[in-house]
Amino acid sequence: MKPPAFDYLRAESVGDVLEGLAQRGGDARVLAGGQSLMAMLNMRLAKPKLLIDIMRIRELRQIERKGDAVVIGAGVRQADLLAWPDLAETLPLVALALPWVGHMQTRSRGTICGSLAHADPSAEMPLALVALGGEVLLRNTRRRRRVVAKDFFAGMMLTARADDELIEGISLPVVKGARVAFREVARRHGDFAIVACAAMKIPTGVRLAVGGVADVPTASDWPQLEGSALDDALNTFAYELGARDDVHASARYRRDLVRMIGRDLIGEVLQ
Amino acid sequence: MTRLKAEQRHAVRFTLNGKPVEGEAEPRMLLSDFLRHQLGATGTHVGCEHGVCGACTIVVDGMLTRSCLSLAVQVDGCELKTVEGLAPSADRLGVLQQALRRNHALQCGFCTAGILMSLDHYLAKNPAPTEAEIRDLLSGHICRCTGYTPIIRAALDAAAELASSSKETSDA
């Protein structure tokens, strides 16, 4: 289990990264914390010709409050964001979900944006991005563009990022006094989620987002439902996610979890 | 900007347990392999090689790090701490190491180096941990011998001993 051969570029600026991506496109991969990509390399599921290390670029290491959003740079590690003093107040959902990402020993290195780039369907940060309706900030040598969360995830480990684009950061909206809830079921704490759910009270009712079931984290907005109407909505949603059987859990168990956890979390945020 | 060619070996220098070291590595060489094969520092063990088992955990620039998910060329200029740096001298064990021994917290010992690094790093920052916190920390390691209970006991034991010894120092 050793990585294939690649050139290694230690970028000192965003310009270095963009140039490397422009030259090598799909043969280049951006290396941030390495907690997903290095495992993919060791297992030879990825075979890039060039790795571009972005972790020595200071401007990508920032967490910034910009108006009613928080912008998190590509070099911000999961542990950095967990230690950010404003996290619980500005991004309470992220504060709930982040301790479920991997283990302390991987959060110390792994980045927020790296987890989004990897786009594992059961990962917590993609789920939080979709639940919050955040945006991914992409950039190549010619232009910058912003992609909303639901358009960013294109499939299992597939995103809307073009080969020559760097995820420069993400922007997450700050919702004042947001009522949020998060729960996850996994074999062990730190394992990938069998089902992870996030709920948030929104002006028109409630939003439930689910990871670990469909190919991409999926959110659904509902008016304030109660009783059997809520049960029906949850049941329909659970089926629409298209759960499949795998070695970790059956499709039926996953649907059960969506219905049960969904109901609990909606109750929590609407209380 | 530094660009290192795939097929060449490149000089890598860093500080290992307080001492400057250097060697040569192709870009694809894992840090775990560099430590063991280039530097002969075989205290760091290699288990799963994809970041799951925790055996290769070390500390890089104050961050717990899976050395199998790092490249040797990435840590050029960094400060590394491995299990070889825990004992106060070659013939003595540190407080944490003694606690693991006393509590039968290892059998085959394969996972121990990584667990020691996580616990050493954590206890330095959190001198009075709860059992739940230690369990959460240990979720990042796999041990197939002990069932974890003696490791948790050893960690709490070491924390208590470190707390009382630091009190004595402050009184002196």
Q: What is the C-alpha separation between B26 and B37, in angstroms, rounded?
A: 13
A106/B140 Cβ within 8 A: yes
Quote the mean pLDDT of chain A.
Answer: 96
User: Which residue ranges form the domains of chain A, and what is each CATH number?
Assistant: 7-53 (3.30.43.10), 61-173 (3.30.465.10), 180-270 (3.30.390.50)
pLDDT of res. B168:
62
pLDDT single digits (tens) A90-127: 999 999 999 999 999 999 999 999 999 999 999 999 99
pLDDT beyond 60 at A256: yes
Residue B52, C-beta contacts closer than 8 angstroms, at least 6 positions apart = B142
Q: What is the C-alpha separation between A52 and A58, in angstroms, rounded?
A: 15
Topology (CATH level 3) of domain B95-167: DNA polymerase; domain 1 (1.10.150)
Query: What's at A20, amino acid-wise?
Result: G
B51/A6 Cβ within 8 A: no
Q: Does B120 touch chain A (CB under 8 A)?
A: no
Partners of residue A5 in chain B, C-beta under 8 Å: 6-7, 26-28
pLDDT single digits (tens) A228-247: 999 999 999 999 999 999 99
pLDDT of res. A18:
98
pLDDT of res. A136:
98
Cβ pairs A/B, distance under 8 A: 109
Alpha-carbon gap: B152 to the closest alpha carbon of chain A (Å)? 16
B63/A5 Cβ within 8 A: no
| A186, A200 contact by CB (below 8 A) | no
Give me the CATH code for the B10-85 domain, please: 3.10.20.30
SS3 call for B131: helix
Of A9, A79, A103, the CB nearest to B3: A9
Q: Domain extents for chain B?
A: 10-85, 95-167
Partners of residue B118 in chain A, C-beta under 8 Å: 104-105
Partners of residue B63 in chain A, C-beta under 8 Å: 77, 79, 108-109
A8/B66 Cβ within 8 A: no
pLDDT single digits (tens) A197-236: 999 999 999 999 999 999 999 999 999 888 999 999 999 9
What is the distance in angstroms between the CA of the first residue and the CA of the last residue of chain B?
51
Q: What is the C-alpha separation between B133 and B118, in angstroms, rounded?
A: 12
pLDDT single digits (tens) A25-59: 899 999 999 999 999 999 999 999 999 999 999 99
Helical residues (DSSP H) of A177-250, grouped into ranges: 227-240
pLDDT of res. B165:
82
* Tokens read off for A152: 């960013």
ipTM over 0.90: yes
pLDDT of res. B167:
66
pLDDT per residue of chain B (172 residues) written in tens, 0 to 9: 899 999 999 999 999 999 999 999 999 999 999 999 999 999 999 999 999 999 999 999 999 999 999 999 999 999 999 999 999 999 999 999 999 999 999 999 999 999 999 999 999 999 999 999 999 999 999 999 999 999 999 999 999 999 988 766 555 4
Q: What is the C-alpha separation between B113 and B55, in angstroms, rounded?
A: 6
B49/A1 Cβ within 8 A: yes
pLDDT of res. B139:
95
- B149 by Cβ neighbours in 10 Å (0-12 / 13-18 / 19+) ranks as exposed
User: Residue A188: pLDDT band by 50, 70, 90 thresholds?
Assistant: confident
